[in-house]
Amino acid sequence: DLWHLAWIPAQAPVGPDPAEAIRQLLAANNARNADRFLALFSPDARNFRNSGDPRKLADKPSATLVDAASREKFFRNYFAGAPVQVEAVKLFSVGDLVVEQSHVTGFADAPEKVVNEISIYRIRDGRIVDDWLLGEETLPARARGATR
């Protein structure tokens, strides 16, 4: 089976690289700058998460992030907590979509935890209007008892 998340017309308008918004988002996260982080989302941005069905890509609207007010409350609490850091492994754009593969670390409750994430963002006018997130928690080799 072949499916497309999006189809970009051959004559898509050329403009600023939408991946720049995600580079700014990562920098704001890692600097713990909640104001800059939140400013990168459109007020009506939609967030999607995985329903648990491995055959579906982030197919369910977020129950937590439903509007600008809930996004602000969630991320202000997030930035008041542990200094979670996001390292982009790969980042590229296709039309107005940006795909980011990252490793997330720095969780207060589990310093050895690493979350491998794939995020897809739709960017318009330099702001996030949609995001889809998939994540998998793993432990680094040293925490699993692996030796060299």
Mean pLDDT across the chain:
83
Residue 49: pLDDT band by 50, 70, 90 thresholds?
confident
Q: What is the pTM of this model?
A: 0.79
pLDDT at 147 over 50: no
Whether 10 contacts 95, CB under 8 Å: no
Rg (CA), the chain: 16
SS3 72: helix
Q: Which two tokens stand for residue 4?
A: 């497309």
Question: Is residue 11 pLDDT above 70, yes or no?
Answer: no
* Residue range 82-128, pLDDT digits in tens: 889 999 999 999 989 999 999 998 888 888 888 888 899 999 999 99
Map residue 145 onto helix, strand or coil. Answer: coil
| Of 57, 69, 29, 66, nearest in space to 119 by CA | 57
In Å, the largest CA–CA distance within the chain is 52
pLDDT at 144 over 50: no
**pLDDT tens-digit readout, 101-114:** 999 988 888 888 88
Between 93 and 56, the more confident residue is: 93
The pLDDT tens digits of the residues spanning 61-89 come to 888 888 899 999 999 998 988 889 999 99
